[in-house]
Structure 1
Amino acid sequence: MSFPTLGLMPALVQAAGEVGYFDPTPIQQAAIPAVVRGQDVLGLAQTGSGKTAAFSLPLLQRWAQAPRHRSRRAVHTLVLVPTRELAAQVGETFRLLSVRLHERPRIAVLFGGLSINPQMMGLRGGADIVVATPGRLLDLLDHNAIRLDAVQALVLDEADRLLDLGFAKELGRVLAALPARRQNLFFSATFAQAVEALATQLLHEPLRIEVEATPETVPDIAQRAIEVDAGRRTQLLRHLVNEEKWPRVLAFVATKHAAEVVADKLRKAGIEAEPFHGMLGQGKRSQVVADFKASRLQVVVATDLAARGIDIAQLPVVVNYDLPRSAGDFVHRIGRTGRAGERGLALSFIAAESEAHFRVIEKRQGLRVPRERIAGFEPVEVATAPPATSPEDTAGGIKGRRPSKKDKLRAAAALEAAGRAGAAP
């Protein structure tokens, strides 16, 4: 199957080829014809499977074919994403794929961390396609800098994350500003129960696409698990970077403080390393990503912010310095490597107290990763029986299959807001 057979116009097929999209991936084969027809879509496929092109190509075609009679540009397509980096990445994909259109859309990429004034100025002439994080979009709505009453298509990219981290309330406010009649597209690598509930409420007879991992589509990611005492993980990371001669490593930690501390220790050991987390200014975050892509940095020590926002071509290694809170986040983390047909390595440090967590992650993945020990770093600590738990004790653990109280509250808030939006005239 080729892109022309999916119903795309020649200009988009040509642009796709120029950025390296020659043969459509399974998610693109299933989603593109449906989106071109105007159908709602619920798309589930692993990280690196081509989801962004699966919605950007057909939505560019729908915009190009839509009648436009008003002098002021009205927002036709709204894409909501959870992070600044993902917003920039998705916006760039729309820009690259639209270069051959006879009339090119005006694309606005909106996110926080920067002064709002330039973005307000940039919206004075209107925008056809908006890619935004929910918080900054609401700021601009409050300033009357943008209107969403003419939106024809809504995309939730990384839909599960948009119902996490307090996004549900913001998402409800955005939905209330949209017209009741529109095309809705949900895409993600994982779907929590809250997403399923919202999809049931908002999507109208959607095409549900679940791309199962197969030998042809699953990323080529080898996994390793190394047992090590928690206090020696930084030394082990430094040892592996030097011994394995990894050109670039993305190491995930649990907190912003850990990102700063680990990166600082690596720098003192002579390794070019920088932290990456939400408390950094946007300029610093953009510089870290640019330096990492250009191989001026060997190690980036990041919180889970990078699990959804950084797309680094030919990233050979991801290290779980700290294990993630959930199995879903584990999938997104290791999906930063092994992209676009490249081979990748995902390595996890297993301390005594995190062994039980890792077994839950293995169970959710349906695999068992053999444990290794590195000479000179053999662990001496042993796991102890956990004390009686409290909410604080369990905040960093692995989530179970049942939704938490917070998950239920977020889903309820989103559904209530969605109901109000759907009932609007």
Structure 2
Amino acid sequence: MVLSDRVARAPKRDTDSRDSRDSRDSRDSKQPRRRSEGPFGGMNQTFARIREDTPRQPFRNPRHNDRDQKDRGKTDGRRIKAMKMQSSLASIPYGQRTRTKASMTELESFGQLDLLPTLKSAISDEVLKGLVDIKPTPVQRLAIPALLGQEIGRRRSRVDISKSGRQEFLLAAETGSGKTLAYLLPAVNALKEAEAADVEISTYREAFERQMAAMREPGYEGPREFEPHPTTARPRVVVLVPTAELVGQVGAVAKSLSHAVKFKTSLFSANVSAKVIQNSMYSPRGIDLIVTTPHLLASMADSDPNILSRISHLIVDEADSLFDRSFSPVTTSILDRALPSVQQLILCSATIPKRLDSYLAREFPNMIRITTPNLHAIPRRVQLGVIDVSKDPYRNNKNLACADAIWSIGKDAARHEGSVPGEIEIKRIMVFVNEREKTQEVAEYLVSKGIDAVALHRDTEEQRQSEMLESFTSSEPMMAKLSDSPEPAIGQSRRSLPNTKVIVATDLASRGIDTLAVRHVILYDVPHTTIDFIHRLGRAGRMGRRGRGVVLVDRNDRRDIVAEVRESMYMGQALI
């Protein structure tokens, strides 16, 4: 055996040898680099050359090394950005999705739930009045039994109780899936059961009836005023939402339940005057459930800390927003003061961002997570189209492309008359931009092209926001006459499109608002994250309806991300 003449030398690392080979190959461009050391390359070695298995790189001509290096750097950079964008959501295993989907079939109707008879009748007579074939949605089939502690079929509701004796739940379901009713029904059911077992309330009612009977007697000269109700300024159920529009939306469902179940509900937001809020909170008849925003509730609790002293059910709707950005300090301060008396803490969201996922794992380790099979997936009933603005006839003019898309929708709708001859249904369209400064610019341009458009952003007054969204949240069809040809306003085009209404908005209008009438959504700007994709496209196709989204892409936008989202929507997969 012949030993190598390099036995006495220190062995070089593989990386050094590869580097030297690469430099030698680059000097001699005519000789291609050897892809392997041959069948006898392992002989005459004095140390173990153990390397991790790495994917074999394809052979590249050394003459293209510099150009390939630049292109590879660009591709890697874009891939890293795409991965960061996709990783903004917490992943849900598909095995869990499959098991959840199989367990939902065990609950077929609201009649199987352990709810009060008045609540069951209120579902069909008040909340879902006029609908036929009423069945629970997927999130309602999963969440209501769990919140009630009810066993459905072979599925037993596992409830972990924290050290403080509190139940903690996270309801995560896609937009427009019925989460509001999923958490209100169990909360109201518990509210009425606690009211029936409350000795203080029973004593108050007896004293109230005695005083009423005495006041009916002739010659009564006693006091005409009643003692305050035990629940005055001490609500049992509190629902927190981020905006005044959601206060009205969630409050409408709670009000409809209160008509049949008989409990006191109040809505507090910037649209309500301070005097009305004070009269409702300190009403002698008491208060059971309030729907409000965190900042308003925190300001009320600062003046009267006892407002948070009897809360048994605290519900945080749109938790991904209320635990992020400007809402987080206020929301956490309310939780800190209210949690000692809370029996059930319920968080609801259409998405689970990784920041929220980490916060809940740290602060509420016993929280039960109830997720639907289609979480983080845009419904397949929503179709996504792409307009390449960089090509003719737009030539990177997004305003022109947006107006052209709206005109196409309006013209297509004009071909189909409504049920009444000579009338046509007005299409309500939402246009989403990334920056609030852009909303006014886009709205003014659309108006100049004969389109009825208004801008909605955080600087818009609360009252004006409610007025603008009122027609978009109503499921009633809006009709227009085909012969209508109103005089154009100053700065408006001679051509007009009377059968469309457009709101140009930021993400302010994309969170939780039940835009049942919206069938078309235009993404003027490509969203920054998949979370924004889900919320914006979720404004269309709600409650089983079909919808369509259009995204405008120019040369500066992330085309690869749009392609990935479109493919995931087509396949019915989650955006994770």
- In the superposition, the TM-score normalised over structure 2's length comes to 0.59
Equivalence for 2:139:
27
Gaps of 5+ in 1: 370-399, 402-425
Matches within 5 A, 1:231-242: 232-242=397-407
TM-superposition CA deviations, 1:41-77 (whole Å, max 9, x none): 2121111111111101111111111134252322111
Return the alpha-carbon distance in structure 1 between the equivalents of residues 324 and 528 of structure 2: 13
Shifted more, 170-179 versus 15-24: the winner is 15-24
1:107 corresponds to 2:259: no
SS of aligned partner of 1:317: strand
Equivalence for 1:7:
114
1:187 corresponds to 2:309: no
1:289 corresponds to 2:469: yes
Matches within 5 A, 1:11-410: 11-18=118-125, 19-20=127-128, 22-37=134-149, 39-67=167-195, 68=198, 69-70=200-201, 71-73=229-231, 74-101=234-261, 104-112=262-270, 115-125=273-283, 126-144=286-304, 147-182=307-342, 183-203=344-364, 205-213=366-374, 218=379, 220-229=381-390, 232-245=397-410, 247-292=427-472, 293=474, 295=478, 298-354=501-557, 356=558, 358-360=559-561, 363=564, 367=568
SS of aligned partner of 1:99: helix
Contact 2:540 2:546 (C-alpha < 8 Å) held by counterparts: yes
TM-superposition CA deviations, 1:340-383 (whole Å, max 9, x none): 111000111111111x2x533654676288xxxxxxxxxxxxxx
SS of aligned partner of 2:445: helix
Return the alpha-carbon distance in structure 2 between the equivalents of residues 251 and 181 of structure 1: 43
SS of aligned partner of 2:260: coil
- Report how far residue 321 of structure 1 moved: 0.7
Q: Structure 1 362/57 Cα, relative in aligned 2: closer, same or farther at 3 Å?
A: farther
Specify the code of the residue in structure 2 equivalent to 1:72.
Answer: P
Return the alpha-carbon distance in structure 1 between the equivalents of residues 436 and 183 of structure 2: 33
Shifted more, 217-226 versus 182-191: the winner is 217-226
Return the alpha-carbon distance in structure 1 between the equivalents of residues 460 and 117 of structure 2: 42
Return the alpha-carbon distance in structure 2 between the equivalents of residues 273 and 132 of structure 1: 29
Contact 1:254 1:324 (C-alpha < 8 Å) held by counterparts: yes
Contact 2:266 2:287 (C-alpha < 8 Å) held by counterparts: yes
Specify the code of the residue in structure 2 equivalent to 1:83.
Answer: T
- Report how far residue 108 of structure 1 moved: 2.1
Contact 1:307 1:336 (C-alpha < 8 Å) held by counterparts: yes
Equivalence for 1:410:
none
Specify the code of the residue in structure 1 equivalent to 2:355.
Answer: A
SS of aligned partner of 2:239: strand
| Percentage of identical aligned residues | 29
Specify the code of the residue in structure 2 equivalent to 1:8.
Answer: L
Return the alpha-carbon distance in structure 2 between the equivalents of residues 363 and 269 of structure 1: 33
Q: Structure 1 63/40 Cα, relative in aligned 2: closer, same or farther at 3 Å?
A: same
SS of aligned partner of 1:64: helix
Aligned residue pairs: how many? 366
Contact 1:120 1:140 (C-alpha < 8 Å) held by counterparts: no
Return the alpha-carbon distance in structure 2 between the equivalents of residues 362 and 144 of structure 1: 53
Q: Structure 1 219/203 Cα, relative in aligned 2: closer, same or farther at 3 Å?
A: farther
Gaps of 5+ in 2: 1-107, 150-158, 160-166, 202-228, 414-426, 480-499
SS of aligned partner of 2:309: coil
Return the alpha-carbon distance in structure 2 between the equivalents of residues 106 and 362 of structure 1: 49
SS of aligned partner of 1:11: helix
Return the alpha-carbon distance in structure 1 between the equivalents of residues 350 and 563 of structure 2: 17
Q: Structure 1 218/8 Cα, relative in aligned 2: closer, same or farther at 3 Å?
A: farther
Contact 1:219 1:338 (C-alpha < 8 Å) held by counterparts: no
Contact 1:51 1:187 (C-alpha < 8 Å) held by counterparts: yes
CA radius of gyration, larger in: 2
